[in-house]
Amino acid sequence: MFAKILVAIDSSKISEIVFDKALDLAKTSGASIMLLHVLSYEEGMPYLPTSFGREYYAGLSGKALEIYQQQCKDCENQGLKLLQSFADRAIAAGVSTEFSQNHGSPGQTICDLAFNWQADLIVMGRRGRTGINELILGSVSNYVLHHACCSVLVVQHLANKESEAQTEQAIASST
């Protein structure tokens, strides 16, 4: 079935569900897991003030740079802590597990690692952005679906399922 499952994890609530689905698949098929967390602006990495022409941004003093570096380190440490907790759970369940935390564009980074690690399946979440939010912010799951070298399992955001259930319930009660 599957031998190598890449699991894209972020700090959203759906990551728990994504991990559980991937862990179940790995246990069922005897696959190994690669957990991936991508450090990006979308995930909360701080923005570094940039230069305009030849003059540097005035707010980029030594102290501001120190604060920026500390914020980056804190974000990296939180990501590693998240990965380690998921890895510990998978290992305790008897699944061969490794993890990676990379900087970059989430969609491209997921696809690149899937290709380089030779993944059979990518398991990832979908935050449920639609309309203008999806247009402006983009959709990582949509990018991965169209660029991945392997199959992709997209786990729907729980809030969307709850609103669908509420809509169905409202329709049923009105008839």
106-117 and 140-147 are packed helices; what angle lies between their axes, rounded to 10 degrees? 40
Average pLDDT over residues 137-146: 82
Write down the pLDDT at residue 137: 46
Is the pLDDT confidence value at 37 over 70?
Answer: yes
Query: Average pLDDT of 122-134?
Result: 70
In the prediction, which pLDDT does 12 show?
A: 85
The answer for 48, left when phi > 0, alpha when psi is -120 to 50, beta otherwise, is: beta
Specify the number of domains making up the chain. Answer: 1
* pLDDT attached to residue 119: 98
Q: Which residue has the higher pLDDT, 48 or 67?
A: 67
Q: Write down the pTM of the prediction.
A: 0.80
Helices (H), 3-61: 14-29
Mean residue pLDDT across the chain: 83
Separation between Cα atoms, residue 60 and residue 63, nearest integer Å: 8
Q: E strands, 23-169, where?
A: 32-39, 97-103, 121-126, 151-156
pLDDT value, residue 61? 64
pLDDT of residue 46: 77
- Residue 83's alpha-carbon distances to 16, 35, 38, 44, 108, in angstroms, are 11, 7, 11, 16, 19
Segment 68-86, tens digit of pLDDT: 888 889 999 999 999 999 9
- How many degrees, rounded to 5, is the angle at CA 134 between CA 129 and CA 138? 115
Residue with more model confidence, 60 or 85: 85
The CATH number covering residue 127 comes to 3.40.50.620
| Torsions phi, psi for 97 (to 5 deg) | -140, 140
Boundaries of domain holding 51:
4-174
User: At residue 11, does pLDDT exceed 90?
Assistant: no
